[in-house]
Chain A
Amino acid sequence: MNDERVLVFRNVRQIFTRGEQTLCALDDVSFDIVPGQVSGLIGPDGAGKTTLMRLACGLLRPESGTVHVLGLDAVAEPQAVQSAVGYMPQRFGLYEDLSVQENLDLFAELQGLPQKKRTVRYAELMHMTGLSPFTARLAGQLSGGMKQKLGLACALLRAPRLLLLDEPTVGVDPVSRRELWAIVYRQVQEQGMSVLLSTAYLDEAERCNEVLLFHQGKLLGQGPPNEFSANVQGRIFQVSAAGISHRQLQARLAQSPNVIDALVEGETVRLVLEQAGLPTAESLLPGLDNVTIRPAVARFEDAFVARLKTRYDGVASAGGLNFHIDVNDDTEVIQVHKLLRRFGDFVAVNDVSFNVHRGEIFGLLGANGAGKTTTFRMLCGLLPASGGKLSVAGLDLHAARAEARRHIGYMAQKFSLYGDLSVTQNLRFFAGAYDLRDSKQDERVEWAIETFELTDYRESNARDLPLGFKQRLSFAAALMHEPEILFLDEPTSGVDPLARREFWARTNALAEAGVTVLVTTHFMEEANYCDRLVIMAEGTVLAEGTPQEMKARARTTDNSDPTMEDAFIRLIEQHEQNKKKIDNRKAMV
């Protein structure tokens, strides 16, 4: 009966209980996947993507409902399903202490790839993934992107009819991401393989033939990606105005009637409206001259936001934030000159220089392993530099680390609050750590709870908070002592697009209040929120400038409106070419 469809879910429900909490990971989910295409499971963290993947592999048994994979019942015959599909789990599932070749050998044996076919297949896969020169290397010593490609190669050894990939591109640099997508599409075209792939990156939805949009365990829709964006076509506009900063512009637009979403995009603001039709400047921004409003092409993310966002009227302006910074001038509060950091032979940060002005949002953009976090740790005085000069708030970090830290708020990449303490207790602890006592402490704790809308959770343990609220709490803890400089290390990693917007609204408001913000991110599109940024790779700065300047570099006749990702990839390519040229020159000498 399931002759055609490779994957059929019928009324699948999956519930997890942890202690007294129950979580509905999948709620009455039904869908069919037809063969020969790439289907994308799209949704933020906690949408139920991994649960769905595991159900499709027979690794979990659904609470109720049926799962059929390639005509097999995944509940009754899990082993048959597991023998038939190719699967790559979210975490790197290979052996880091085995070499690339040994991992391939292991999975060839496990999947029953005949000895005769191996040489050819290995060569094919290694060529396709660009791993041929590294077959003797231990898998643990590969870069993040190479690891993912090896994982994919192992899943493809026997060319399964259905390939299941759980967030294969997470944390992978844009170049490797593109390559992974190319490999996946080649399988579909050459082998007629069916691919189900999950991702939290909304921009990847557009690369799928078909999208299944999930949110909080519910399937919101299934269809080609442009079908989703077609729903909001005519409601998307780009607005720019003279005489007002783009951040103020965004804050005002977010408050305008009819606006669902206002997003800073370089010097312009992207709008998603409730109703279609070109709005007038007067209705959007009364009292402003020189307003330009241009229609824009709808993207998948616009559709996602339009679908899920309830209007956010929270803290969007500096006034509402109630944050006090004493000094307000235009000095360079962070100066970095020829910064260097070595770990043994490995140079993690090499000759990095940049300056950040007061009240600026400054971004460090790069893939995992580019040296962003190391740079950050040196700036915060958590790690000594091997060479170069640093100054934060006019203080030399080597000489006066404790003094410099008073001016700094730091939000670490991982959730680093106390899970067993309540929200209020955590905030009190951090206020106390910054010498805030008595009434001043009470005042700041109340401020944090109010500003970050944590009232409903004030007595909950931090561990039990939803991800977005954990992030709010970390953010609040970093702001207890009203620092003039804020360091945010991958603040939005793993957070859904809506929580990300909220986060950036607050960050914008802080910048408007005069706080200097230094932020790292591997989401290329988030660079648009920055006033200026550096793009890093392999510990060096590839380029520095405004987001517009970055994108202008990548403009070609084919691509008149490049994205930040295009710009990034172009820079990386140039970097690689330069390296080759230098190598060649060395070889000639």
Chain B
Amino acid sequence: MNARLHRLWGMIRKESLQILRDPSSISIAFVMPVMLLLLFGYGVSLDAKNIPLGIVIEQPDTAAQSLAGAFDRSEFFRPQRFAAIQDAKRALTERRIDGILWLRNDFSNRLLSGGEAPVGVFVNGVDSNQANITRGYIQGAWLAWLQHFATSRGQALDLPVVLEQRVWFNPALSSHLFLVPGLIAIIMTMIGSLLTAMVVAREWERGTMETLMVTPLHMGEMLVGKLIPYFMLGMGGMLLSVAMALFLFDVPLLGPFWLLILCSALFMLVSLAIGLLISIVTRNQFLAGQVALVVSFLPSFLLSGFLFDIHSMPSWVQLITYLVPARYFVAILQTLFLAGPVWPVVLTNVAAMLLMLLILTALVVKKSYKRLD
């Protein structure tokens, strides 16, 4: 037992020294998280604010002016006036504006006579997501104004349904609140899978694995000895990201901190297992890097729900997302940060990750033997 601990300690010390001497490990663990967080926290925004909107008023009477004024005051729009619809359409084609609000010369008449929708709306549908958001916002602003207009004239608005919106958990609808927690999953995938796959493959490539094998060191000790330092590194990256999320981006942490650490540790183990499996199968740094990128990093980015909503994906893509461990972790992270400990969400996702860990560990153990063939 004592000899075993000595061997384990030898491996851990060696691995830690190598991490400290290799600038690329340090930068992946600490510099990259900072850069990604700054980029996603400040640079990328999925919110619709300041949408450039063209407004065409053919008959500038009171009602039309009042409606245009409502759009002018809205923080979601940056309206521009066009004299004729043709000019506005050209601007839309040239992507100078994202939508057009067209008030025809019979606008006031039809509005007052209680006829059907008297406004024309055009939206640039090239970016369908943006188009939907724009259309929704125009509709919202129109309904709000209509209600206000009706009340001011002492009339009840004759609408079948009145929309009353409540946005939960992220009332300001700011995307960095859910992007930043999700990023923690991406960063931990980088350290756990990409970095680990490459450093273990390096041992094969440089021939040091052969020397390690012909010692009393057991395969299990070697794996654990490798895992511990990279586990610490990954958790370090995680803590750094959490600190930045809380103090730089003012993301609230509504769930308990210990639960966050526990779930992160579980996800870290899953990532490490994937990294180990890749390196054992490829035994080549370049290949390991490529494979890790394709099977681990990119799916975490695209299919985890961190950036793109899973429910709006085609159903067969949704099925694939169940294979992406980051999917479960992103769900936990967004819940813990923004909604607090919603136990059914946390527990089901933890169970999924545990299952993945079990399967991956079994594969790693099966694939790693002290032989070169």
Contacts and interface: CB of A to CB of B under 8 A. Distances in A.
B214 interface: yes
Contacts of B211: 87-89, 93-94, 151, 154
A211 interface: no
Nearest to B5: A109
Interface string A82-101: 11011111111111111000
Interface in A311-358: none
Interface in A71-113: 78-79, 82-83, 85-98, 102, 105-112
A82 B18 contact: no
A58 B370 contact: yes
A506 interface: no
B30 to A, nearest CB: 19
A94 B370 CA distance: 17
A63 to B, nearest CB: 10
A87 B3 contact: no
B215 A111 contact: yes
A60 interface: yes
A220 to B, nearest CB: 26
A78 B371 contact: yes
A109 B6 contact: yes
A280 B288 CA distance: 66
A347 B207 CA distance: 30
Contacts of B6: 109, 112
A511 interface: no
A61 interface: yes
Contacts of B217: 110
B212 interface: yes
A59 B215 contact: no
B2 to A, nearest CB: 9
B165 to A, nearest CB: 58
User: Chain A: interface residue count, which band?
Assistant: 35 or more
Contact of B372 (A59, A105, A106, A164): A59
B18 A98 contact: yes
Interface string A155-170: 0000000001000000
A381 B189 CA distance: 47
A187 to B, nearest CB: 17
B215 A107 contact: yes
A57 interface: yes
Contacts of B372: 54, 59-60
A53 to B, nearest CB: 10
Contact of A109 (B7, B18, B22, B218): B7
A97 B18 contact: yes
Most buried by A among B11, B14, B370: B14
Nearest to A93: B211
B61 interface: no
B127 interface: no
B214 A59 contact: yes
Contacts of B13: 105-106, 109
A154 B212 CA distance: 11
B23 to A, nearest CB: 11
A91 B207 contact: yes
A105 B10 CA distance: 7
Contacts of A89: 207, 210-211, 214
A132 B30 CA distance: 37
B9 interface: yes
Nearest to B218: A79
A57 B213 contact: yes
Contacts of B10: 105-110
Given A58-B370, A60-B373, A112-B6, A87 B17 contact: no
Contact of A106 (B3, B14, B214, B371): B14
B216 interface: yes
Interface in B139-158: none
A426 B124 CA distance: 56
Contact of B371 (A61, A90, A93, A97): A61
B339 to A, nearest CB: 45
Contact of A93 (B7, B208, B373): B208
Contacts of A85: 214
Nearest to A89: B210
Contacts of B371: 58-61, 78
22 contacts: A59-B372, A60-B371, A79-B370, A82-B213, A83-B215, A83-B216, A86-B214, A87-B211, A92-B207, A93-B210, A95-B18, A96-B206, A97-B18, A98-B17, A105-B13, A106-B11, A107-B10, A110-B10, A110-B212, A111-B215, A112-B6, A112-B7
